[in-house]
Amino acid sequence: MIVRHFTVASMLSLALLSLPGSALTTKAGALDYCKADAGRLCPGVEGPKALGCLKEHKMEVSVGCAKALQKIKAEMGK
């Protein structure tokens, strides 16, 4: 179980590294809500594809993760 959490955290970290620096800290905090959802809905998906996978499963993610994804979407639209 610990390995799975580490893997999910690593995937999200890699996804965040590909984002512009100014948005990095905000998105990192928001995506903390999505770690469990990524492990459950997107096993084996790594890097930037993890965020895309979560967006594909937006109707299945937890409330906290859904709000985090909405926040990221709003920030990227700025």
Q: Which structure tokens are listed for 26? A: 């905000």
State how far the Cα of 1 lies from the Cα of 36, in Å rounded to an integer.
11
Distance CA 66, CA 58 (A): 7
pTM, full prediction: 0.59
pLDDT in tens, 4-57: 665 666 666 656 555 554 444 455 666 788 889 999 999 988 877 888 899 899
Number of domains in the chain: 1
CA distance 49 to 4: 17
CA within 13 Å, CB half, 49: 6
Question: In which domain, by residue range, is 11 found?
Answer: 2-76
